Amino acid sequence: MKKFISILLAVMLVVSVTVVSVSAYNSDNDYSKMTSGGKYNPSDSYTVDANTPYGEDAVLANGGSLDETQKIYFQAPEDWANKYNTFPGPDLPNDEPYMHACGYWWSGTGSDWTAVGGTKVAWCGFQAHLVDKTNRIYYIVMPNDGGSPALTLNNGVNGGMDQTKEIFQYGHQFQDVNTEGAYEGDEDTLPEGSPTQDDFNGCIAIVDYDNVKENPLTHIPAYGTKWYVYYGNGCYGEYPEDSANFIGRHENCLNPEHRHFAGDVNNDKVVDGVDVLLIQRYLLEDLPDGATFIEDRADVDGDGYISIIDATRIQRYLAKKCNIDGTRPYSKDYDLNPATE
């Protein structure tokens, strides 16, 4: 078994707060830039914007293959969002504003890539895709060969080094992750490794508030992470889905809020007959226009499929024949679903 090793390199921290973001993708009317007195100042630091390239853009622009990349998920802390990184983008419909985040790797394959347009990408790096706004889940695409001794997941804000500027306090990042030596050693972080056993593909970084190091230059805290296998919809655990120890998404999920989601398919904070009806209509391909339907929550038994069995599970739960996870006898103390609290 192999272990993940997170490192924080002091020299890299110096660089991370002094280099400039991708100026080639900013325009004079871009409101994601730092401004002074409400006016654009080209000498100020840049932040992520809606045009900052994704990792897969650079892969293709530099002749690489998407088959040789890994998709790394992470959960962004709530305090990462601010006015410098919250704006519309391509990952949500109707130009709905959301927090943008980035990932930057210091060396290895792709560290010297140029993005579309020929400009080398510097801090804050490549933009991450938002996949779950409620749970603040993102993923970034990077090569799975060549290694990188320091992957830095961050909130896309280059705070610079001038502490008198307002933007200074808004730049946040996780501690650097040593992806090159991530699986060295015998201790377990993921007892069975990642889904592919040799890279981070399909894994998610969850902030570890007990592991904090202060940037010696900025005195801004950088938190470490714990790594898990990502199951989707905010659910993560220690075992890949093909593991003998994997029972189901709900049973294996370690998200402390997970049980509050199971069965609440329309996200109205209660599990009731409406959720049963929605599952039934989903199976008939007759969902009402505009209806909220969260597929992972509809898979109540966590077997990877949505079926009439899931609707029946909710009905039995509502009749207090079993807990929402199927265990019996029904117990309000055991059941953490909001509908019973």
The per-residue pLDDT for range 152-188, each reduced to its tens digit, is 999 999 887 788 888 888 999 999 876 655 554 444 5
- Examine the pLDDT at 68 and tell me if it is beyond 60: yes
The per-residue pLDDT for range 110-129, each reduced to its tens digit, is 777 776 566 677 788 899 99
Portions of the chain given CATH number 1.10.1330.10: 258-340
% of the chain exceeding 90 in pLDDT:
28
Q: Which CATH number fits domain 258-340: 3.60.20.10, 1.10.540.10, 3.30.365.10, 1.10.1330.10?
A: 1.10.1330.10
CB burial of residue 155 (10 Å; 0-12, 13-18, 19+): buried
Average pLDDT, the chain: 75
Strands of the chain (E only): list them: 35-36, 39-40, 69-75, 86-87, 98-99, 102-105, 126-127, 129-132, 137-143, 151-154, 203-214, 221-232, 235-237
- Examine the pLDDT at 16 and tell me if it is beyond 60: no
pLDDT band at 47 (very low <50, low <70, confident <90, very high): confident
CA distance 205 to 191: 15
Higher per-residue confidence, 9 vs 71: 71
Higher per-residue confidence, 165 vs 3: 165
Give me the pLDDT at residue 1, please: 34
